[in-house]
Amino acid sequence: MAQLIDEGEISKKDRIKITSSLLVSALVFLVIQYDAINFDSNILRLTIDWSNLLVNALGWQIFAATLVVVAAANIIYSRFSGFFKHNKKKVFLFISIATNLAILGFFKYFNFFADSFVVMSESLFGYTPGAFTLDIILPVGISFYTFQTMSYTIDVYRGEIKASKKLTEFAAYVSFFPQLVAGPIERGKLLLPQFQQARPTPEWSDVREGVWLIFWGLFKKLVIADNLAKIVNPTFEYYASGGSAGAIPPTDSLSLIIVLYAFALQIYCDFSGYTDIARGTAKLFGFNLMINFRLPYFATDPSSFWRRWHISLSTWLRDYLYIPLGGNRGGSLLTYRNLMLTMILGGLWHGAAWTFVIWGFYQGALLSIYRALGIDAEMGGNYPQWKKILMIIFFFQLTCIGWLIFRAETPETIVSYLGGILFNPLTTPETWELLKTLLFYSWFLIVFQVLQYKANNLNPMQNWHWFIRLNIWVYIIMSLLVLAAAGGQEFIYFAF
């Protein structure tokens, strides 16, 4: 599709290649039953149960549907492409975006909207429709690689990059394994050229940085995030249970605040830890992936936060949604509208739940309020250092309220949790145990990131004495060996 957008047409030879690859893929991955193939390694003999090799009825149905679709697409292209002579690129871009969004919408949002329709029908009309849901399994990382392919086709349309004519290059760009399931969402103009040219052997500095990123990411994930999950998950599970609404919470308000801080660190270490591992692994193969986090909890305002948190998503939303909507070019009211729409859609990108819609609305409201007040300490505000520190502390509290909305399973959970904070101002012995747990696992991260912030450098160790670096390495490795959480937890953003 990108080639169609780039050149306005596609040759017969390339159409045959695409058709063949789609049909062969459907046959190989959906029709063939590989459990009918057996290889005995002891006697090096391959046996095939021919009677069961090609008996997958559903696979044949999908193969037939694929055959019909590609045949129809070729006929339509041959017969009607002349009708779009002057707007071919726009038509093909629309088809590409619509197809990507349709696939994403079906897998990620069908059950959500079906359930919402049933609830609305019951509440408004007292009528319960039949079951709509299909119990669809969400493909891992679909939000990430869908946005990645969309950015590629849009950049081709804008003339910022030439379409790749090699399927292997494009497939490698979309499915590059370090960042496939949880980002960063790479742009074609940054990552694709790295597949198109010969890469030199990684230098020692790249290997050293790559290994450090991998271990630092593992430390953040296994030592901090997974251990903090042990105090975060039980608390939120309590408030998500049906009988918790209106009941006395199991912990006092200070404990609930500590748990909220713990989740803020958990989600940061979980997500940025994956990104560090991905970037480090890519460096060992000679690839450079974009930085996705820049000390987000040192943000003084929401604009600063989104320049520091999940940078690949925030810049994607800015370049492909906020600016095309009009950005800040249409006056204050339209700017606020564009901010709200962008962040609400950004919330929906994370998942099919009303809590993500509320979270997006909350983030859009923060951006709009801070913009209306003219607060942006990093991009023009002349504030003394002590005031910046106070702004960082205050905005971190607002960020944690956002994480409460993000983590809650239902809107009722949000209300119940906030009620526990506001109306149960007591302390218990468990409060200090929670605080000690939080500080025990996160103290090194906090100290290290303060040093990163003061040095304005994400890798300040390169300027430190070798003995200090050695001690840090010993601490990281020993922590992984001794303190890594048993059992482990799935990466949070694997669900998106």
Q: Provide the annotated active-site residues.
A: 350
The 10 Å Cβ neighbour count of residue 361 is 15
Query: 280 with 217: CB under 8 angstroms?
Result: yes
- The C-alpha atoms of residue 86 and residue 35 are separated, in whole angstroms, by 51
181 contact partners, CB below 8 Å, separation of at least 6: 140, 141, 144, 491, 494
Q: Encoding tokens for residue 391?
A: 């702004």
- The C-alpha atoms of residue 8 and residue 155 are separated, in whole angstroms, by 15
The 10 Å Cβ neighbour count of residue 123 is 8
Q: Encoding tokens for residue 439?
A: 């500080």
- The C-alpha atoms of residue 370 and residue 451 are separated, in whole angstroms, by 28
Place of tokens 């949002």: 109
Cα Rg of the chain (Å, integer)? 26
Residue 71 half-sphere exposure toward CB, CA atoms < 13 A = 6
- The C-alpha atoms of residue 140 and residue 179 are separated, in whole angstroms, by 12
Phi, psi of 184 (to 5 degrees): -60, 155
